Amino acid sequence: MLDIHFIRENVDLIKLGAEKKRIVVDIDHLLVVDEERKFLRQQMDEKRAEQNRMSNTIALSRGEDRTAYIEKMRHVKEGLAELEERHTKVFEEWQKLMIQVPNIPDVTVPEGETDADNQEVKKWGTLPEFSFTPKDHVELMTSAGMADFERGAKVSGFRGYFLKGDGVLLSNAVWQLALKHFTNKGLEPLMVPSLVRRETVMGTGYLPQGEDDLYKTQDGEYLAGTGEVAAMGYYMDEILDLEKLPVQFLAFSPCFRREAGSHGKDVRGLIRVHEFFKWEQIVLCKAEHDESVRMHEWLNRNTEEIIELLNIPYHTVTNCGGDLGLGQVKKYDIELWVPGENTYREISSASYFHDFQTRRLNIRYRDGEGKLQFAHSLNSTALPTPRILVSIVENYQQEDGTIRVPKVLVPYVGKEILGHTA
């Protein structure tokens, strides 16, 4: 959420930012409602001051004067109650409008409407060349006994899956490698809840924009689509010590997404599933743009490095304005080569938000002068499973249907070849 003072003073900039993100929001109406909110608040303050003066007068008066003042006080109270009721309604509308205002994208964010307009900024690795026709991960993992999609759908429904045998070993190996790699970077590991309250989902910006993609319980909690939600809620409504910054978490959690807007997309296999696991990097840092930019590059590079350890070709893209979420200032996507589709597919997103999330979550710190500041927040996918398995098995497949284990994973898997000959 942006500061209302900043919005008032930068109306044209806010409108341009919303236009760049292709987000429709009525800033002019927000400002009208804001003026009404301020006016009512001023009226209430005046009524309360009058009420206080009247109370003192009544305490000192006697007889008929006292009776008259009490009657006057009754009218003041009624007027105040009416103002408070009006203010409550206006304030609720103001809040609904405020949480719809998008953050302003960085000037380096390219123009564009969809992910097709994202701009490549880096390419790494050599695309594999096969002496045979490569198979996709569904065929490979099924024939190798690493996954069962048919029974997954029978038990869980559409997009359901079982990992089994070597599929479990490979997934667990990826988790262990990620834990070692990212904690060596200085991130503190957390196992976080997936069942979260509405306040934390709202605070991280996944509501109201992304409600259709969330699972909700009958008690009003949500199943989070990323460990970022719970990890960001960790310091909600707290004031951090300056010496603690930057806070650097590595959150692990099961994740759940309805994939409501992806009907007909990636219906086979592990690219787009409802239930998965993810390591996520989360950072809270000082409220300085340069610090956010530095941490953003660092987080994204952390993930690039682990992909390079796995020796999987990838490219990194800068997301265009239309492919940014409500709160993101800038975002990188890392996309891995998928031979079965002959294209790159997203595996990681790294974003920074300035104080957009921390204002909603009320996460602050005292700067060197003792002044309270809202921290800046960032997050980046460390590694998601089972999606990462798609690129591993397809890039490391052999003609006989077996899969070589990336060298860096062999100590965790315990063998060099997965599956069995067809």
Instruction: Tell me the per-residue pLDDT of 369-397, one tens digit each, with 9 for 90 and over.
Output: 999 999 999 999 999 999 999 999 999 99
Domain 115-418, CATH class in plain words: alpha beta
**pLDDT tens per residue across span 85-108:** 999 999 999 999 998 999 999 999
Q: Which residues pair with 411 in a beta bridge?
A: none
Distance of alpha carbon 227 from alpha carbon 316, whole angstroms: 22
**pLDDT tens per residue across span 333-361:** 999 999 999 999 999 999 999 999 999 99
What are the extents of the domains in the chain? 4-98, 115-418
| 272 among known catalytic residues | yes
**Residues 126-154, mean pLDDT to the nearest whole number:** 94
Task: Select which of 272, 294, 301, 404 is catalytic.
Answer: 272
Task: Select which of 257, 345, 360, 364 is catalytic.
Answer: 257
What is residue 207's predicted lDDT score, i.e. its pLDDT? 83
- pTM: predicted TM-score of the whole model, two decimal places: 0.90
Share of residues in the chain with pLDDT > 70 (%): 97
Above 80 in pLDDT, residue 421? no
Are 361 and 200 in contact, with CB atoms under 8 Å apart?
yes
Distance of alpha carbon 401 from alpha carbon 421, whole angstroms: 6
Residue type, 221: E
| 198 among known catalytic residues | no
Q: How does residue 398 score in pLDDT terms, banded at 50, 70 and 90?
A: very high
**Residues 238-257, mean pLDDT to the nearest whole number:** 96
Print burial letters for 386-400: b (CB count within 10 Å at least 16), e (below 16). Answer: bbbbbbbbbbbbeee
| 4-98 and 115-418 in the same fold | no
**Residues 240-268, mean pLDDT to the nearest whole number:** 85
Q: How does residue 263 score in pLDDT terms, banded at 50, 70 and 90?
A: low
Above 70 in pLDDT, residue 262? no
What is residue 394's predicted lDDT score, i.e. its pLDDT? 97
What is residue 267's predicted lDDT score, i.e. its pLDDT? 65
Task: Select which of 253, 292, 349, 380 is catalytic.
Answer: 349
Task: Select which of 364, 387, 391, 394 is catalytic.
Answer: 387
Above 90 in pLDDT, residue 134? yes
| 346 among known catalytic residues | yes
What is residue 384's predicted lDDT score, i.e. its pLDDT? 96
Above 60 in pLDDT, residue 422? no
Distance of alpha carbon 277 from alpha carbon 269, whole angstroms: 15
Average pLDDT, the chain: 92
Distance of alpha carbon 27 from alpha carbon 30, whole angstroms: 5
What is residue 272's predicted lDDT score, i.e. its pLDDT? 87
Q: In what order do the strands lie in the sheet with 363-366?
A: 238-240, 363-366, 372-374
Share of residues in the chain with pLDDT > 90 (%): 80
3-class DSSP string for the chain:
CCCHHHHHHCHHHHHHHHHHHCCCCCHHHHHHHHHHHHHHHHHHHHHHHHHHHHHHHHHHCCHHHHHHHHHHHHHHHHHHHHHHHHHHHHHHHHHHHHCCCCCCCCCCCCCCCCHHHCEEEEEECCCCCCCCCCCCHHHHHHHCCCEEHHHHHHHHCCCCCEECCHHHHHHHHHHHHHHHHHHHCCCEEEECCCEECHHHHHHHCCCCCCHHHCEECCCCCEECCCCHHHHHHCCCCEEECHHHCCEEEEEEEEEECCCCCCCCCCCCCCCCCCEEEEEEEEEEECCCHHHHHHHHHHHHHHHHHHHHHHCCCEEEEECCHHHCCCCCCEEEEEEEEECCCCEEEEEEEEEECCCHHHHHHCEEEECCCCCEEECEEEEEEEEEECHHHHHHHHHCECCCCCEECCHHHHHHHCCCEECCCC
Task: Select which of 139, 258, 346, 404 is catalytic.
Answer: 346
What is residue 420's predicted lDDT score, i.e. its pLDDT? 72
What is residue 265's predicted lDDT score, i.e. its pLDDT? 67
Q: Which residues pair with 334 in a beta bridge?
A: 316, 348
Rg (C-alpha) for the chain, rounded Å, is 27
At the topology level, CATH places domain 4-98 in Helix Hairpins (1.10.287)
| 349 among known catalytic residues | yes
What is residue 143's predicted lDDT score, i.e. its pLDDT? 93
Token digits of residue 298: 């660092």
Above 80 in pLDDT, residue 58? no
Above 50 in pLDDT, residue 193? yes
Angle CA 305–187–286, to nearest 5: 105
| 199 among known catalytic residues | no
Distance of alpha carbon 344 from alpha carbon 55, whole angstroms: 73
